[in-house]
A and B are shown apart, each in its own frame.
Chain A
Amino acid sequence: MDKFDAIIVGAGLSGLGAAYTLAGSGLEVLVFERGDYPGAKNVTGGRLYVNPVRNLFPNLFENAPLERFIAHEGVTLMAKDRSLSLGYSGSELREEPHQSYSILRAKFDRWMAERVEEKGGIILSKTRVDDVIKENGRIAGVVAGGDELRADVVIACDGVLSLLSEKAGLRAPGSLHDFALGIKEVIALDSGLMDERFNLQGNEGAARLFVGEVTRGKFGGGFLYTNKESISLGIVVGIQDAAGDESSIDVPALLDEFKGRPEIAPLIKGGSTVEYSAHVIPEGGFKAMGNLCGDGILAAGDAAGLALNIGFTVRGMEYALASGYYAAQAVLKARDSGRFDAATLGVYQNLLEQSFVLQDFRSFEETPLVVGNPRIFSHYPELFGNIMKDIYSVSDGPKRRLYPTLRKHLPLGEVWALLKDMKEVMKI
C-alpha cells in the first residue's frame, strides 16, 4: 500500500479510541506503538470514569478488563503528626452502570488494541516514530524505523510530551508549571485482605486521596486505588514546586514516607510491590492547551494537553478516549470533502467544544490557579488537624468548652483568610 487513510502515533487511550472509531468505519488505519505492546509505556493513577464515554464506544466496556468499580470515596488531610479523613459511600455508586473503575493500563490498553485489530486496524508495536514528513507545508506522513509512511492524516497521540506535535509545529516544549509528576507502586495484596481492610463487598473498590504532608506541603497529593488483586499507591507533585525548591524534597523518598505513614502502612501490610512507575501529567488546563490541529495532523489525549485537575482529582483517560473519538469523526468528515487542511480538520475543535471535553475544560478553567493556593497543602491540614486534636483531647484536668477551643484556632484573621480562600474555591 502506498498510503494509509490515517496514521496514529501512540497506542494509548486517545490513539486506540481514534483507531477503533476509524477502523470501525472501514478506514485503513496504522497505529504505531514504541512499547513492546500497547500499554507498555502507559501509566495511570488510576481510575477511568466510564459514564462520559460509554455512548461513544457502544458495548466496548462491558467486557473490558476493568479492575473494581469505585463504591467508596475518601479524602484525607494529612498533617505531620495527625490526619483528618472524610469518607463517602452512596447507593448510587453501587448501582449499574457504575460510573468509574480502577484500571491498570498495561492490561486495559493491550485488550483495547485487540479490539482495534478485530475492526481491521493495524497495530505496529516496538516501533518509535522519529519525525513527521512535511510536504508543501502540510504533514504527509511519518518517519519510523528509517521508513517513510504516508497517510491522508496523522493523529498525534504520543502522550504528554508529544514530541511529534513539537516537530509538526503544533506546540512548543511545555512550561513546567503546567505539568505534574506522578509516581506509583503497584502493590500485590490478597483480595480477601483488601476487602476486609477497605470494607469492600464483591467487586467494589475504594479510591482515596491525601493532601498535605504527603507532598511536604507542596502542590500535589497522594492517591490510593484498589485493583482486583493489588493496590495502586502513589503521589503527584507539581514539577515547578518540586524543581524550584532547594530544600530537601526528594521525590522518590516522598513515596516511601507516604508508605510509612500510620494511615497507610496497615493498609498495605503483607503486600509486595510488583512494579514502580512514573509519568508526567498535563495539568495546565484550558490555558495551557496547544493547537489541536494543523494541515494534515490532529492531536488528541495528553498530546493535546487534555488532562484536567478538577480540584479533588485529575482526570485524563476519558478525555483521551473522547478526543480520539472526535478526532476520528473529524477525519471522517474531512474525507467527505477530500481535504485534510487545518481549516477542514478544524471541525475537531467544534466537536470537542460541543462535547463534555472542552465544556469541562472551560468549567474548570480557573481550577489550576485555585488549587495552586499553597495554603491548601501546607496550612489547612495542620490547622484542621490541630482543631480535631483539641476537640478529641481529654487531659487530667477539666475539659475546655468546644466553642473557645475552636476560637483558639480560628481567630478573626484566620477566619477572614479562610473566607477569602473559600471565595476562590467558588470559582471551581
Chain B
Amino acid sequence: MSESSGLKAKLGLDVFKPVGAPHIRIRPGMEKDPRLKCAVRICPAGLYSENEKGEIVLDVDGCLECGTCRLACGVEVLDWKYPEGGTGVQFRYG
C-alpha cells in the first residue's frame, strides 16, 4: 500500500456510496500468489497490502473501479466485478 497519508486524504475528496459485499475478492488460496504482488504498488487507491504472513490483503473501500488489478493480476487470482448499480465511486468531475 502506498504509505502516503496524502492518498487517503485524496480518496476522502471523492464521493463513495457504500458497496454491499466486496466486488473484488482474492480467490481463496491465492493470497500468496506472486501475480498479486504488483497490485500493492500499482493500485491507484493503495487498497492492496502485504501482511506479516506474506499474504496479500485487499480492502475495497476507496476503490476507483479502474480495473488495473484485473488486468495486472488476472481473473485466475481475482474474482472481479463492478459494484452493484448506484454504489461505489461517483465522480463529480471525471
Q: Does chain A bind chain B?
A: yes
**A309 interface hit (Cβ, 8 Å):** no
Give Cα A288–Cα B4 distance, bound, in whole angstroms.
35
With beta carbons under 8 angstroms apart, the residue of B44, B46, B64, B75 that contacts A173 is B75
Within 8 A of A (CB), among B1-49: 2, 4, 6-7, 10-11, 13-14, 17, 38, 41-46
Q: Is the CB of B86 within 8 A of A126?
A: yes
In the assembly, what is the distance between CA of A145 and CA of B83, in Å? 12
Contact B10 A185 (CB under 8 A): yes
| B94 partner, pick from A39, A185, A244, beta carbons under 8 A | A39
- B46, A252: Cβ atoms under 8 Å? yes
- Say yes or no for A215: interface residue by CB 8 A criterion: no
Query: In whole Å, how far is A46's beta carbon from the nearest beta carbon of chain B?
Result: 9
Shortest distance in angstroms between A213's beta carbon and chain B's nearest beta carbon?
18
- A128 in contact with B84 (CB, 8 Å): yes
In the complex the two chains form, is A252's CB within 8 Å of B91's CB?
no
Bin chain B's interface residue count. 35 or more
Given contacts A34-B85, A39-B91, A42-B91, contact A278 B44 (CB under 8 A): yes
B2 contacts which chain A residues (CB < 8 A)?
Answer: 250-253
B21 to chain A, nearest CB (A): 13
Query: Would you call the interface of chain A mostly helix, strand, loop, or mixed?
Result: mixed
Tally A residues with Cβ within 8 Å of B: 53
B72 closest partner in A (C-beta) = A243
Residue of B nearest to A174 (CB): B71
CA distance A364 to B36 in the complex (A): 33
Tell me the complex Cα distance, A33–B93, Å: 17
Determine whether A161 belongs to the interface, using a CB cutoff of 8 Å to chain B.
yes
Q: Is the CB of A128 within 8 A of B91?
A: no
Find the residue from B14, B93, B94 having the highest chain A CB count within 10 A. Answer: B94
**Beta-carbon contact of A104 and B94 below 8 Å:** yes
Task: Name the B residues within 8 Å of A34 (CB-CB).
Answer: 82-86
- Tell me, rounded to whole Å, the shortest Cβ–Cβ distance linking B40 to chain A: 9
The answer to whether A176 touches B71, judged by C-beta atoms less than 8 angstroms apart, is yes
**Also in contact, A181 and B86, with CB within 8 A (given A42-B94, A252-B2, A273-B10):** no
Alpha-carbon separation in the docked complex, A133 to B41 (Å): 38
Contact across chains for A126 and B85 when beta carbons are under 8 A apart: yes
Contact status of A242 and B91, CB under 8 A, knowing A36-B17, A256-B4, A274-B13: no
Which residues on the B side are within 8 Å of A275 (C-beta)? 13-14, 91-94
- In the assembly, what is the distance between CA of A253 and CA of B10, in Å? 12
- Binary interface encoding of chain A residues 239-257 relative to chain B, with 1 for a CB under 8 A from any of its CBs, else 0: 1001110001111110010
Tell me which of B64, B68, B88 has the highest count of chain A C-beta atoms within 10 A of its own C-beta.
B68
The answer for the CA separation of A208 and B91 in the assembled complex, in Å, is: 23
From residue A278, how far is it (CB to closest CB) to chain B in Å?
Answer: 4
Please give, as numbers and ranges, the residues of chain B lying within 8 Å of A176 by CB-CB distance.
Answer: 71-72
Given contacts A42-B91, A106-B92, contact A128 B82 (CB under 8 A): yes
A277 near B94 with CB under 8 A, answer: yes
Residues of B within 8 A of A253 (CB): 2, 4
Asked if A43 CB lies within 8 Å of chain B CBs, one says yes
A279-B91 Cα distance, complex, nearest whole Å: 12
Q: Give the residues from 269 to 296 in chain A that come closer than 8 angstroms, CB to CB, to chain B.
A: 273-280
A47-104: which residues lie under 8 A (CB-CB) from chain B? 104
A183-B44, A239-B72, A251-B43 given as contacts; is B11 within 8 A of A276 (CB)? Answer: yes
Distance, CA A166 to CA B72, complexed state (A): 17
Residues of chain A lying within 8 A (CB to CB) of residue B13:
273-276
**Nearest chain B CB to A5 CB, angstrom units:** 23
Taking the complex as formed, is A300 at the interface, i.e. its CB lies under 8 A from any CB of chain B? Answer: no
Asked if A44 is at the interface of the complex by the 8 Å CB criterion, the answer is yes
Given contacts A104-B94, A186-B93, A244-B38, contact A252 B72 (CB under 8 A): no
Contact of A179 with B71 at beta-carbon distance under 8 Å, contacts A277-B64, A280-B66 already known:
yes
Whole-angstrom CA separation of A42 from B38 in the bound complex: 25
Q: Which A residues touch B11, using CB under 8 A?
A: 276
Assuming A39-B91, A253-B2, what are 18 further A-B pairs, CB within 8 angstroms?
A34-B83, A36-B17, A40-B89, A41-B65, A41-B88, A125-B85, A128-B85, A160-B67, A173-B71, A181-B66, A181-B68, A239-B71, A242-B38, A251-B2, A252-B7, A273-B10, A273-B13, A276-B13
B residues with CB within 8 A of A: 2, 4, 6-7, 10-11, 13-14, 17, 38, 41-46, 64-68, 70-72, 74-75, 81-86, 88-94
